[in-house]
Structure 1
Amino acid sequence: MYKKNKWNKHNKRIVIVTIILVLFSVVTLVTSRSASGIETIFKDTIANIEYYVIKAPIEYVSGLFNEYSEMKDVYEENAKLKQKLDDLARESAMNDVLTSELNQLKDITKIKYLPTDYQVKYTTVITRDAENWTNEVTINIGKLSGIKEGMAVITAQGMIGTVTSVSEISSTVSLLSSENSKSQLPVMILSGDKEYYGLLNRYDLSTKSYRITLLSDVEKLENGAKVVTSGLGGPGKSPKGILVGTVDGFTLGDDATESVCTAKPSADFNSLNYVAVVQRVNEE
């Protein structure tokens, strides 16, 4: 009997200890999870406060500044375009007036043609040999279209060369970018309100610029002065006033040397697809 009671007491103790251990484990687990959850909520709250109170306003203000800068650039570009359109409208109106006055003067003086009068015949480049890339191209019009040697060839940007060989249906054009060119193109330089004459006689591949020997007495040339054909090459040659390039350098000669200037071409020799042959209207 005594042993039985002793055994029951022992079992009760084991059960009590087991219950206490289980309760302690549950409390510890719940407490641990609660602490982790609170910590997570706290971190999320701090992150949200940091974003909405600090980062979001900064990003918003930065976006406003970027939009303002872009709008300012667009406004300035639009202002420039408007100015160009206004200038174009004025120049167009002035051109109409000058054309009308010029025609009246032609009628009065009985002059039919001026050195600047010419017509163009549009064509395409059909051959450009890689070995002669900077020297010549072949176009798809020739004698049947009235093309003759010495005629100027242009693009929308300006003069690119002269016709040097003509067949019935095609022509060879010697480019102004050729270093081997033996021809000299008579040109005129418009610097301020003055005109100076010279001969374009070489193209420098390293600097990609023309070398012009000046025939006029020149003390100073403005950078950016326009270089155009002078029309003094004789019949069948380039008419007056075709854009060739712009001055970007000048060397004043002395008694022993000649004055020369360099000019950047107005035309892009890397892209020659559509060109036009220039013909003086009094040489049809």
Structure 2
Amino acid sequence: MPQFFLNKRLIILLISIIILVSLIGFSLQEKENISRPEQIIKDVVGFGHSLISRPAQGIAGFFENMQDVKNTYTENQKLKARLEGLAKLEKEISDLKKDNEELRDVLKKTDNLRDYRAIQATVLTRDPERWDEKIIVNKGEMSGVKPDMAVITGKGLIGKVISTSEMTATIELLSSENTKNRVSAEIQGKEKEGIFGLISGYDREKKLLLLKDIPVDKKIEAGQNVVTSGLGGVFPKLLDVGKVKEVEMDRYGLTQIAYIEPSADFYDFEHVIIIERLTGKNQGEGKVEE
């Protein structure tokens, strides 16, 4: 009995499929005048087709849009990586240009050091909290560096050596607040007699060096060059310090104070030259040590 009903259902299903296919084929035939049942069948078939096709198209479009979004995200990531690489490359190029210019200035300066031995060095460390006071360089006693030697960049004097080890040296900058960090200097002018004073102190607000102990009878004008005098016995003569910016009397009215605009940049540099003053004993040893 169950087998009979199963076969019956299968026969009914097959007959229904045949009828449906016949109706669809019949509805697709081109006729000028179609009957009312044919119109109903066409409408039902069209509605069923639209009912199925629209969601299918929507789903297909959704997945296409998702793929487009994914492709756009991937391309965006690649472009972002390239931009980051270009930014890094630009920074490296800028740093290399700066380094190259600084080394060129150093080489030009060493060419003019006829009476000194120039020891070329590179900055190793610089304390952020004491940026304007001290630096440590990669040359020390093994390279002939000693305390009180002058230190310059390609632009001018920046300080002096205060201590050394075998491989390093500590340099105190002229911009330090240590008032004992003094340098004998000369203001160049038209007068036959030099105008001498001591560089002692730094005005952080004005970013100017203080040249003190200048006699009151000396006439000083803005723009005059300031160089090392060589009278201290350690620093060589004529190392560039800067130019006179302004002049005023000290608080007691006994001497003048000249504010000097430094030629060197105390803030941004990586390469320095340590200067050993040559005397009669070592004058034939003048050279640039790399």
Q: TM-score, normalised by structure 1?
A: 0.56
Please name the residue that 1:263 is paired with. 260
Q: Partner amino acid for 2:260?
A: A
2:238 is aligned, of 212, 236, 241, to: 241
Any conservation in 1 of the 2:199–2:209 contact (CA below 8 Å)?
Answer: yes
Please name the residue that 1:209 is paired with. 208
Q: CA deviation at 1:233?
A: 1.0
Q: CA deviation at 1:220?
A: 2.0
Q: What is the CA deviation profile of residues 15-65 of structure 1, one whole-angstrom value per residue up to 9, with x for unaligned ones? A: xxxxxxxxxxxxxxxxxxxxxxxxxxxxxxxxxxxxxxxxxxxxxxxxxxx
Any conservation in 2 of the 1:214–1:261 contact (CA below 8 Å)?
Answer: no
Q: In 1, distance between residues paired with 2:179 and 2:167?
A: 24
Please name the residue that 2:269 is paired with. 272
Q: Partner amino acid for 1:134?
A: D
2:134 is aligned, of 128, 133, 136, to: 136
Q: In 2, distance between residues paired with 1:201 and 1:253?
A: 13
Percent of pairs with identical residues: 38
Please name the residue that 2:47 is paired with. none
Q: In 1, distance between residues paired with 2:224 and 2:253?
A: 26
Helix, strand or coil at the partner of 1:168: coil
Any conservation in 1 of the 2:183–2:199 contact (CA below 8 Å)?
Answer: yes
**Structure 1 ranges of 4+ moved more than 6 A:** none
RMSD: 2.2
Any conservation in 2 of the 1:186–1:231 contact (CA below 8 Å)?
Answer: yes
Q: In 1, distance between residues paired with 2:218 and 2:172?
A: 32
Please name the residue that 2:177 is paired with. 179
Q: In 2, distance between residues paired with 1:151 and 1:228?
A: 16
Any conservation in 1 of the 2:248–2:258 contact (CA below 8 Å)?
Answer: yes
Helix, strand or coil at the partner of 1:144: helix
Please name the residue that 1:228 is paired with. 227
Helix, strand or coil at the partner of 1:191: coil
Please name the residue that 1:32 is paired with. none
Q: CA deviation at 1:181?
A: 4.1
Bigger Rg, which one: 2
Change beyond 3 A, Cα 1:256–1:141:
same
Q: CA deviation at 1:269?
A: 1.2
Please name the residue that 1:196 is paired with. 195
Aligned residues: 169
Q: Partner amino acid for 1:143?
A: E
Change beyond 3 A, Cα 1:260–1:185:
same
Q: In 2, distance between residues paired with 1:116 and 1:261?
A: 29
Any conservation in 1 of the 2:195–2:218 contact (CA below 8 Å)?
Answer: no
Any conservation in 2 of the 1:116–1:239 contact (CA below 8 Å)?
Answer: no
Q: CA deviation at 1:133?
A: 0.1
Q: In 2, distance between residues paired with 1:224 and 1:266?
A: 12
Q: In 1, distance between residues paired with 2:252 and 2:134?
A: 37
